[in-house]
Chain A
Amino acid sequence: MPRRTLCILLALTLAISACSRAKKNSIQVKGSDTMVNLGQTWAEKYMARNPGDFVAVTGGGSGTGFSSLISCTCDIAMSSRNIKDKEMGLAEKRGITPNEIKVALDGLAVVVNPSNPVDRLTMDQLAGIFSGAIANWKEVGGANEEIVVLSREVNSGTHVYFKEHVLRRGDPASKAEFSPRALMLSSSQAIADEVAGNSAAIGYYGMGYISKKQKPVSVAPDENSQYVEPTIENVLGGHYPISRPLLLYTNGQPQGLVKRFIDFALSKEGQEIVLATDFVPVEK
């Protein structure tokens, strides 16, 4: 008798796994490495809710996501940048109409010790500080004290993003790097702790880590613009300069499982996951 039960169970499992491999119940999500954790958490929670549906999430970078979407090897492309004109043209040639859905926002706070008189910086000043060109707080209106630059380790997506968007100002040809004197800390929490205890320190991390022990700096794109605080409202409104939308791209209007998955990502539960993975939800 037990053997027979086993056989039936085995047959059932096979049947189920065969089902889940069928095209309709399985989708591929590919793209931005920044979003991989977010996408995977969505997929896990979604699959737990909807047994039988199968969502596979892989990274590779935003560019990889777009090229897979264009070559029909994925159903949803994750991207932390907008699609380029060149990619758009390629997609149209292949009869694909990329459809953009904003699912989350990524905002980075630059923080200093609360005792530091500096509370506003321009993007150029930030680039100068983190690349080592500005070495003393007095150059940006602070005390005569050597700046202690804190950065995340190179394995961090935040490190890469900060380098590309603050140090290099989004210019792919730029060769700017973090100052070699920058202290590389292994977690956002380590940066938060060092900033809390060091009056000369400056660091960056996702907005979720800001507490009373650190002071977020208001940032302006240039001297003549308004300085903007890193708050969820300012990131939502697109005023804060060190933030970017996190996007999903589908081919045409989403349908079937693709639609159900994206609806889940935009649902209350999906957006709570966004917050839990240190990004900013698109809706409050």
Chain B
Amino acid sequence: MRKFREFIIEKLVLLCGIASIFFVVLIFLFLLKEGFAVFKTVHPFAFLGGKSWYPISEPPRLGILPLILGSILVTVGAAIISIPIGVGCAIYIAEIAPKKTKEILKAGIELLAAIPSVVLGFIGMVTIVPLAKMLFHLPTGLTALSGSIMLAFMAMPTIVSIAEDALYSVPKTYKEGALAMGATHWQAIWRVMLRAASSGILAAVMLGIGRVIGETMAVMMITGNAAVIPHSFFAPVRTLTATIAAEMGEAVIGSEHYFALFAIGIVLFVISFGINVTADLFLHKRQ
């Protein structure tokens, strides 16, 4: 009887495991099926390299280059802001902070991760957007820069906690050895600890970026969504994610516009899959 129960439970768990993979495969197949349909009417190069996005015109113009560049610009901006702060914060927590400060900081970072993105977007809309407009004398504060700042807040918790983990798992002897050789605390951190934890820190950065590129709500609220090729951080951009979110509700099922939105989904999938695989490679290298 016990054996039988064991058997049933084992199979049930197996079923659960298979189910999740099954669903992922189904989703992926659906995405491919719906997305590739657009290439019957638009050449893939014209789709990826086209400079105008007028999906509801007759005939529709489906060029997503401005959207890809918009997503990349916002992500790069967020990375520039969040990587130094995030890694710095991780170093402070892992190496320098006294125990009590460390606990408070860690709780704070977790709290930051718990803020829903729509709330961050809303806060950004009423604080960063007017501030950016005033500080830089811009025609509008709805810019890539505002989006980048807000997204940096979202990437930071991921970067800090994973990078801190990586630093923590560097054997104590490395640091002790460095200090025994006469290195200062800073030299030990910079030359030894960071080098030793580098793959883990890179993985942290990659996962942080992965979170940024897939973020939708906050960017839709504060980047202005103008589908124009951006020339600076101070101009409005339209991201891939915001385009899908804004237009999916009304796209007629089976229309070119609908398929184009799925094709954007494929592009996003490929980008974040690439980022996650890179992060995974770094993580495995560490182990």
A residues with CB within 8 A of B: 145-148, 153-156, 160, 177, 180-186, 194, 197-198, 200-201
Q: Check if A181 sits within 8 Å of B236, measured CB to CB.
A: yes
Once the chains are docked, how many angstroms separate the CA of A182 from the CA of B66?
Answer: 13
Report if A183-B251 is in contact (Cβ < 8 Å); known contacts: A155-B246, A198-B133. Answer: no
Chain B proximity of A181: nearest CB distance (Å)? 5
Interface of B is mostly: loop
Q: Check if A182 sits within 8 Å of B139, measured CB to CB.
A: no
Residues of A within 8 A of B145 (CB): none
CB-contacts of B118-149 with A (<8 A): 130, 133, 139-140, 142
Q: Check if A183 sits within 8 Å of B56, measured CB to CB.
A: no
Report if A184-B140 is in contact (Cβ < 8 Å); known contacts: A155-B250, A177-B54, A197-B130. Answer: no
Once the chains are docked, how many angstroms separate the CA of A201 from the CA of B130?
Answer: 13
Chain B proximity of A138: nearest CB distance (Å)? 14
Report if A181-B140 is in contact (Cβ < 8 Å); known contacts: A155-B249, A197-B130. Answer: no
> How many residues does chain B have at the interface if contact means C-beta atoms less than 8 Å apart?
25
Once the chains are docked, how many angstroms separate the CA of A147 from the CA of B142?
Answer: 14
Residues of A within 8 A of B56 (CB): 154, 160
Once the chains are docked, how many angstroms separate the CA of A183 from the CA of B144?
Answer: 12
Asked if B173 is an interface residue, CB under 8 A from chain A, the answer is no
Report the stretch among B6-14, B15-23, B34-42, B222-230 that lies at the interface. B222-230
Residues of B within 8 A of A186 (CB): 220, 225, 246
Residues of B within 8 A of A183 (CB): 140, 142, 224-226, 236
Residues of A within 8 A of B226 (CB): 180-184
When C-beta atoms are compared, the residue in chain B nearest to A147 turns out to be B139
B residues with CB within 8 A of A: 52-57, 66, 130, 133, 139-140, 142, 220, 224-228, 236, 238, 246-247, 249-251
Residue from the list A153, A156, A160, A201 in contact with B140, Cβ < 8 A:
A201
Chain B proximity of A130: nearest CB distance (Å)? 13
A145, A183, A197, most chain B CB atoms within 10 A: A183
Chain A proximity of B102: nearest CB distance (Å)? 41
Once the chains are docked, how many angstroms separate the CA of A233 from the CA of B247?
Answer: 35
Q: A183-B236, A184-B246 are in contact. List 12 more A-B contacts (CB 8 A).
A: A147-B139, A148-B139, A148-B140, A153-B246, A154-B246, A154-B247, A155-B246, A156-B250, A180-B52, A180-B53, A180-B66, A186-B225
Residue from the list B142, B225, B236 in contact with A153, Cβ < 8 A:
B225
When C-beta atoms are compared, the residue in chain B nearest to A198 turns out to be B140
When C-beta atoms are compared, the residue in chain B nearest to A149 turns out to be B226
A146, A160, A186, A201, most chain B CB atoms within 10 A: A186
Chain A proximity of B276: nearest CB distance (Å)? 29
Residues of B within 8 A of A177 (CB): 52, 54, 57
Report if A180-B228 is in contact (Cβ < 8 Å); known contacts: A197-B130, A200-B140. Answer: yes
Once the chains are docked, how many angstroms separate the CA of A197 from the CA of B138?
Answer: 13
CB pairs A–B below 8 angstroms (13 shown)? A145-B139, A147-B139, A153-B225, A154-B247, A154-B250, A155-B251, A180-B66, A180-B227, A180-B228, A185-B225, A186-B246, A194-B140, A200-B139
Once the chains are docked, how many angstroms separate the CA of A200 from the CA of B140?
Answer: 8
Residue from the list A145, A154, A197 in contact with B55, Cβ < 8 A:
A154
Minimum-distance CB pairs A-B, first 3:
A155-B250, A184-B225, A180-B228
Report if A153-B228 is in contact (Cβ < 8 Å); known contacts: A148-B139, A194-B142, A200-B139. Answer: no
Residues of A within 8 A of B249 (CB): 155
Once the chains are docked, how many angstroms separate the CA of A182 from the CA of B236?
Answer: 9
Residues of B within 8 A of A180 (CB): 52-53, 66, 226-228
Residues of B within 8 A of A153 (CB): 225, 246-247
